[in-house]
C-alpha cells in the first residue's frame, strides 16, 4: 500500500503547494513551475492507480447493498460538479469550488460502496485533500467574485453534456474495472 499512499501524497502536495509554500511556488515561475507540478501530479496519479490495483484486500467495513443507488446519484452529481467549472451559464455563479466539491462527492460516493483499506486510503485521502484545499483557499482568499452570469440555455447544454460524460464514465469504469451497476 506504500505506492498508494505515496500516490495520494504526490497528488495532494503539489496541488496544495500554492497554499503551503506560496513563496517557493512563486519562485518556481509559471512555465517551469506548472510543468513540475503537472509531472508530480501525473506521477501521483500513476502511483495511485498502480497502488490501488495492487493493494491487498483488507476489509474494514461492509457497506450495505442499498448504498449502491446513492452512489450512482452522487457520481452523477460529481460529474455535474466537475463539468460545472467549464459551464458559462447561471449555475456556475452559485458555487465557488466546483472541482474540489466534485472530488469530495466522488470520494464519498466511493466510500459508500467500498469498505476496504485501499479504498479508505485512496478515496479518504483525496477527500481530505479536496476539503483541506478548499479551507485553505477560503482562508487565504475569503472574498469570491463569481464568474459572469451566462444564460439558462448554457446550463441546459451543460447538463446534457454532463449526462453524456456520466454515461461515458460508467462505460469506461466497467471496461477498466468493476461495473458501477454490477453484473
pTM of the entire structure?
0.88
Mean pLDDT of 11-27: 86
Residue extents of the structural domains in the chain: 1-55, 58-183
Q: What are phi and psi of 116, to 5 degrees?
A: -100, 165
Task: Transcribe the chain into DSSP letters.
Answer: -HHHHHHHHHHHHHHHHHHH-HHHHHHHTTHHHHHHHHHHHHHHHHHHHHHHHHS---B-----TTHHHHHHHHHHHHHHHHHHTT--SSGGGG-S-HHHHHHHHHHHHHHHH--BHHHIIIIIHHHHHHHHHHHHHHHHS----PPPP--HHHHHHHHHHHHHHHHHHHHHHHHHSS-TT--
Chain segment 27-53, per-residue pLDDT in tens: 887 788 888 889 999 999 999 999 999
pLDDT for the residue numbered 40: 93
Tens of pLDDT, residue by residue over 89-106, are 898 999 999 999 999 999
pLDDT for res 30: 79
Least confident interval from 17-26, 105-114, 173-182: 173-182
Amino acid at each position: 500500500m506504500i505506492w498508494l499512499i505515496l500516490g495520494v501524497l504526490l497528488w495532494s502536495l503539489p496541488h496544495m503547494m500554492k497554499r503551503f509554500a506560496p513563496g517557493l511556488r512563486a519562485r518556481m515561475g509559471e512555465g517551469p513551475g506548472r510543468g513540475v507540478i503537472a509531472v508530480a501530479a501525473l506521477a501521483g496519479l500513476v502511483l495511485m492507480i498502480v497502488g490501488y490495483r495492487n493493494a491487498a484486500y483488507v476489509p474494514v467495513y461492509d457497506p450495505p447493498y442499498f448504498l449502491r443507488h446513492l452512489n450512482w446519484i452522487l457520481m452523477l452529481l460529481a460529474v455535474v460538479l466537475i463539468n460545472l467549472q467549464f459551464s458559462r451559464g447561471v449555475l456556475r455563479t452559485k458555487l465557488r469550488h466546483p472541482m474540489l466539491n466534485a472530488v469530495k462527492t466522488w470520494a464519498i460516493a466511493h466510500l459508500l460502496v467500498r469498505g476496504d483499506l485501499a479504498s479508505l486510503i485512496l478515496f479518504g485521502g483525496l477527500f481530505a485533500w479536496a476539503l483541506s484545499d478548499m479551507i485553505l483557499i477560503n482562508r487565504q482568499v475569503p472574498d469570491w467574485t463569481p464568474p459572469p452570469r451566462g444564460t439558462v440555455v448554457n446550463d441546459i447544454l451543460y447538463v446534457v453534456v454532463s449526462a453524456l460524460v456520466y454515461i461515458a464514465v460508467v462505460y469506461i469504469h466497467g471496461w477498466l474495472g468493476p461495473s458501477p451497476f454490477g453484473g
